Amino acid sequence: MGNPTIQLFSNSLGGEELAVLKNVFESKWIGVGNETKTFEKELGEKIGCPRVLLTSDCTSALFMSMKLLDIGKGDEVIIPSIHFIGAANAIISAGAKPIFADVDLRTLNLLPSEVERLVTKKTKAIMLLHYGGQPCDLDAMINLARKHNLYLIEDNANSPFSKYKGKSCGTIGDIGCNSFDAMKILCMGNGGALILKTDQLYTKAQELRYFGLKCKGQSGIDTLKENNRRWWEIELNEIEGRHVSCDILSSIGRIQLKKVDNFIRRRKEVWNMYQEGLKGIDWIQTPPEPSSENESSYYFYWITIKNESRDELARWLVNNGIYCSFRYYPLHLIKKYGYRGKKLINAEKINDTVLDIPLHQNLSNEDVTKIINTIKSFKKQ
């Protein structure tokens, strides 16, 4: 059959975004300018942290986090196996070793007991993921980080506006890494952000984001404004690449930021429809609700298939025009990473039984009803 008519991900870009693009084009300044700086400020106000820097994407932010925290050869970073490849690649590229950990069967989040099991004298950081928008047990992770003198990195790609006990996810660890790519809740087309815990990390990140240039990566025009006699002269504090965003993308991000609460509100409505519509199906386990203390961004909706074939259900949905998938394939099973440790029982069970079904703000009630009814009809085929 052709492409499924109901997609797993979607975005909401339209006339307002087009209008601001016109303004940016007419300004003739499409690099890092006022739109980017204003978006960083507005995003910081939204999440309650003033130290926000836009990056070219979340992967760049993850790669930068390694250098910002001086993680390199001989170091280890504990990371849940249910996680995106960009996170593991960032660790390996820095010369460090990812230590793959098992996850909770219901939330798919990193288990604190796994951190205790895997921590060694070489461990330098924990890099966690808030799966599907649901916050990890951050109290436990912070206590473990303090106990073992570790950095805490939040891969916040799934949870840009989730909250843990009133605080925005991504602002609680030493570094948070956000994603605004084509599949994310706030969509810039491509983009990411670094959220920094301290002024020292923020200053260092400003330089690393743009080749390691001294003067926090500012442009020649910025230097000219400071009355420097030779504003074209440069000096480096680091050797680094280029990880900046631009005003074209940032202008889109600013409009999306104004809409994101409504996006999440609709996502929660879809979540609730699934929770009610799939309740009582004895061969499906629905995901847990966020605790009363926390707020989810509702990025994924995942079901666990009991006593049936997850793969056959996935094919049934696709054949009926509904795209689905499982994210994320366990990292420790990727041969390139050369994992030789203990069998990660939960991650491997999840890999065989969990399915992510469509969850986004563009789903109509009719779409959701069709998805629910198609799942219910699977055993009748």
Q: What percentage of the chain has pLDDT greater than the value 90? A: 90
* CATH class as words, domain 15-257: alpha beta
Give the mean pLDDT of the chain.
95
According to CATH, where is 3.40.640.10 located in the chain?
Answer: 15-257
* CB of 54 closer than 8 Å to CB of 191: yes
153 Cβ contact list (under 8 Å, min separation 6): 62, 65, 69, 77, 125, 126, 127, 128, 173, 174, 175, 176, 177
pLDDT per residue over 19-52, tens digit each? 999 999 999 999 999 999 999 999 999 999 999 9
pLDDT at 43: 98
According to CATH, where is 3.90.1150.10 located in the chain?
Answer: 260-380
Q: What percentage of the chain has pLDDT greater than the value 70? A: 96
163 Cβ contact list (under 8 Å, min separation 6): 135, 169, 294, 295
* CB of 354 closer than 8 Å to CB of 108: yes
Q: 96 to each of 18, 77, 289, how far by Cα in Å?
A: 43, 7, 35
Q: What is residue 99's DSSP assignment?
A: E
pLDDT at 217 over 60: no
Tokens of 216: 């926090």
End-to-end CA distance of the chain: 18
Q: Does domain 260-380 have CATH number 3.90.1150.10?
A: yes
* CB of 61 closer than 8 Å to CB of 205: no
Number of continuous H segments (helices) and E segments (strands) in the chain: 12, 13
pLDDT at 220: 66
pLDDT per residue over 308-354, tens digit each? 899 999 999 999 999 999 999 999 999 999 999 999 999 999 999 99
What is the strand order of the sheet 284-285 is part of?
284-285, 301-305, 354-357
pLDDT per residue over 51-106, tens digit each? 999 999 999 999 999 999 999 999 999 999 999 999 999 999 999 999 999 999 99
pLDDT at 226 over 90: no
- Rounded-to-integer distance, Cα 156 and Cα 265, Å: 19
- Rounded-to-integer distance, Cα 271 and Cα 265, Å: 10
Reported as a pLDDT band with limits 50, 70 and 90, residue 225 is: confident
Q: What is the CA radius of gyration of the chain?
A: 22
